[in-house]
Structure 1
C-alpha cells in the first residue's frame, strides 16, 4: 500500500491525537508554583526501579521497562496497549492502537520486534521479564483506548512474565482516566485533568502489587514536590521534553534514608502546562510514597505544533521523536534515565548513555 503524502500524514498525526488517549482540549495552566527547585541529596535504589503511566504514558512505561528490565523490576499500565503496537507509523497507531482495531494485530510480529531489539542490545534481556511485577488496568467505560487493545498487552506480558506476577483489573466501570478514591472529575467522563473521583485507589492497588509489604498511608504528607531542570539533566536527549519536570521526595528520603524510586508518566494533555499540578499531586501516588520511602519522578513531555509534531503533549509511542522510540536508543527513554540518575547522590554501576559511565 502506498504511503500517504506528507500533508496527509500531518493530518493523520493530528487526527490520531484527537481520538487517542486524553485527547481533549484543556486550558493552559502554569506548573505548580509551590514546587521547590532544589532537590535534596538522595540515596536511591536504582537496581529495583518501578514505572507506571496512563495512556501514552502507559505505552511509555512498557517501553521504558523493556528497555531496562535489568533494573526496572515492575510496571503499572493504565489504558495502554501492546509493545510496539504502532510499529513506528502514525497510520498503524491510528488504525489499531487506540479507539479501534482495524483488521488483526499481529502480536507475534510485535514480539519478534522485541526479540530483534534484544539481539541487537537495544533492550535488556527478555529473560528479566520472567520475575517482573506487572499491574494492568482498563476501565469498562473507556472508549479512548478500547478493551481489545489493553487485552493484547495482557496477552503479551503473559508470554514474558510468570502469570502469578501479573494483575489485570478490567472490571471497573470507569472512563479513560487515572482512578482515585476522591480526587478529580466524574469517573464516567474523560475530562481534564483526566484524574477520576472513582472511589477506587488505583495508585494503592498498583504500588501494593509492585512492592511488597507497603504501609497504608496516613492523612499527612511529610514530603515536598520539587522541580527539576530536565534540559540540564538530559541535554540534547530532552529536546522533546518540557524545561521542567517534578519529583516528590518524602521527608525520610530528604533526610538521607535509602529510598526506592518510581517513575510516573502522564498521559496526553496531562503535562503540567495543561493541568497544573493535578497529575503530580492528585493521583494518590505521593501519599503511598510518603509512608513507604519511595521517591516519585514525574518527567514531563511538552506539546509541539512544529516537527516533531506533538500538539497534545503525548509521550512518544509511535515514533514522532525517534525511530528508536521504543528502545534504549530512543531520545526520550535516554532522557528519563538520565533524569532519574541525576537525582541520586551516589555513583551508580548502571551505565547511563552519554555519561562518564558510558
Structure 2
C-alpha cells in the first residue's frame, strides 16, 4: 500500500481516532491520594494486563513484548497484533469500524516471528500457557466483530485454546461493561464505561488470575498519583504528567501482591474523563480483596506531531516505529512505571535482566 503524505496522515489520523471514540469535554482529576506511594512488594513475574479499544491493542502489544513475565491479557474491543502495520491508512481501512479487502493474518504473525528473532519481543513459546480473555459486544460498531474475531484467531495460533475465553454474545456497545456504573450500555459515549449488568472486570480477572475471591462492596485502598515523566523520562513524552495506581490496604501494609496494568481507551485519559476510568470499571473492587495493585498509565492528547488528539495508545506508530515491541517508547515507559512501584530493588533487577 502506498504510504500517505504527512498532510494525508494528519487527516486520516483524525478519521481513525473518530472511528474509535468521539470527542469529549475535559474534566479535572482530583481523586488521587497525594501522599507518598507506600512501600510495595510486587510479584513482577506474574503480571496481567488489559485494555479497551486502543488500550486493548496496547495490552496485546505489551503482553507479547514481555510474555516471559506478563502471564495474562484481557482485551475489550481490540484487533489483531500489528493490524495497522505502522500505517494510519491501514489502521483506518482494516482495523476499526470496517475491513476493506482481506486482512493477511499470516503476514501479521510473521511480523511477530520477525520481532521474536530480533529479540524485540519475548519468545512466542511463552504464549502457549498464557491466559487470554477477549470481549466484543454485539452492538459495537466502532471496532467491528470481524476485527475482534481475527484477534481470537491469532491467539488460537499461539495459545492453548483451553486458556482462551472469548465473550462475543453480549448486546453491548463500544465501552467497558460494568455491573452498574457508567452510561447506557447500548451507547458508546463518554466515559465509555457502561451500566450493562455485566461485571467484565470480574469475569476477566477470574480467568486471568487463579483463585480470586468475589469482592465485597467496600474498598480498603487508595488511588495514588505517580509522576510518569520523572519515572520514564524520554520514553514518556507522549504520556501525561500523572499516572495512577490503586493500592489495596493489604499491599500498603507490606503483603506480597500481584500487579495488573489497565490501559484506557481513546478519550478515556484522566484529563478527558476525570477519575471515571480509574474508579468505575470494577477493577479496584476485585483488586482490593485479592491483593492486586492496579497500574493505570495515562496518555495525553496532542494536536501537533506526533498527532494524537484523542489521547489513544499507540497501536499504529504515531510515537515510535517500534510501537508494537520492546523498543517502543510507550511500552518501555509503562514497564518503567510498573517496576518503579516495587520497593524491592533485587526483584526489579532480577526480573529486568531477562527483558532488556
* TM-score, shorter chain, exceeding 0.5: yes
Residue 71 of structure 2: aligned partner: 73
Question: Is residue 217 of structure 1 aligned with residue 218 of structure 2?
Answer: no
Residue 23 of structure 2: aligned partner: 25
The gaps in structure 1 that reach 5 residues or longer are none
Residue 62 of structure 2: aligned partner: 64
Say what the alpha-carbon RMSD is for the aligned residues.
Answer: 1.2
> CA separation in 2, counterparts of 1:313 and 1:121?
29
Residue 350 of structure 1: aligned partner: 351
> CA separation in 2, counterparts of 1:208 and 1:33?
27
TM-score, normalised to structure 1's length? 0.97
The answer as to whether partners of 2:131 and 2:163 remain within 8 angstroms in 1 is yes
The answer as to whether partners of 1:338 and 1:352 remain within 8 angstroms in 2 is no
SS at match of 1:192: coil
SS at match of 1:74: strand
Residue 5 of structure 2: aligned partner: 5
Residue 232 of structure 1: aligned partner: 230
Residue 283 of structure 2: aligned partner: 285
> CA separation in 2, counterparts of 1:78 and 1:3?
29
Question: Is residue 167 of structure 1 aligned with residue 165 of structure 2?
Answer: yes
* 1:195 aligns with one of 193, 196, 202: 193
Q: 1:102 to 1:294 in 2, by over 3 A?
A: same
Q: 1:323 to 1:181 in 2, by over 3 A?
A: same
TM-score, normalised to structure 2's length? 0.97
Residue 105 of structure 2: aligned partner: 107
* 2:52 aligns with one of 31, 51, 54: 54
Residue 292 of structure 2: aligned partner: 294
Residue 16 of structure 1: aligned partner: 16
For residues 280-323 of structure 1, give each alpha carbon's deviation from its aligned partner in whole angstroms, at most 9, with x where no partner exists.
Answer: 00000000000000000000011000000000000000000000
SS at match of 1:350: helix
> CA separation in 2, counterparts of 1:352 and 1:99?
40
Residue 241 of structure 1: aligned partner: 239
> CA separation in 2, counterparts of 1:352 and 1:247?
24
For residues 22-49 of structure 1, give each alpha carbon's deviation from its aligned partner in whole angstroms, at most 9, with x where no partner exists.
Answer: x211110112344334110000000000
The answer as to whether partners of 1:52 and 1:76 remain within 8 angstroms in 2 is yes
Residue 256 of structure 1: aligned partner: 254
> CA separation in 1, counterparts of 2:116 and 2:292?
30
Residue 89 of structure 1: aligned partner: 87
The answer as to whether partners of 1:37 and 1:228 remain within 8 angstroms in 2 is no
- Report how far residue 8 of structure 1 moved: 1.7
Residue 127 of structure 1: aligned partner: 125
> CA separation in 2, counterparts of 1:106 and 1:53?
24
For residues 113-166 of structure 1, give each alpha carbon's deviation from its aligned partner in whole angstroms, at most 9, with x where no partner exists.
Answer: 000000000000000000000000000000000000000000000000000000
For residues 41-94 of structure 1, give each alpha carbon's deviation from its aligned partner in whole angstroms, at most 9, with x where no partner exists.
Answer: 000000000000000000000000000000000000000000000000000000
- Report how far residue 18 of structure 1 moved: 1.2
> CA separation in 2, counterparts of 1:288 and 1:3?
45
> CA separation in 2, counterparts of 1:331 and 1:282?
28
Residue 275 of structure 1: aligned partner: 273
For residues 221-250 of structure 1, give each alpha carbon's deviation from its aligned partner in whole angstroms, at most 9, with x where no partner exists.
Answer: 000000000011101100000000000000
> CA separation in 1, counterparts of 2:119 and 2:138?
38
- Report how far residue 334 of structure 1 moved: 0.1
The answer as to whether partners of 1:60 and 1:317 remain within 8 angstroms in 2 is yes
Residue 205 of structure 1: aligned partner: 203
Number of paired residues?
A: 353
The answer as to whether partners of 2:314 and 2:330 remain within 8 angstroms in 1 is yes
The gaps in structure 2 that reach 5 residues or longer are none
The answer as to whether partners of 2:31 and 2:223 remain within 8 angstroms in 1 is no
> CA separation in 2, counterparts of 1:316 and 1:200?
28
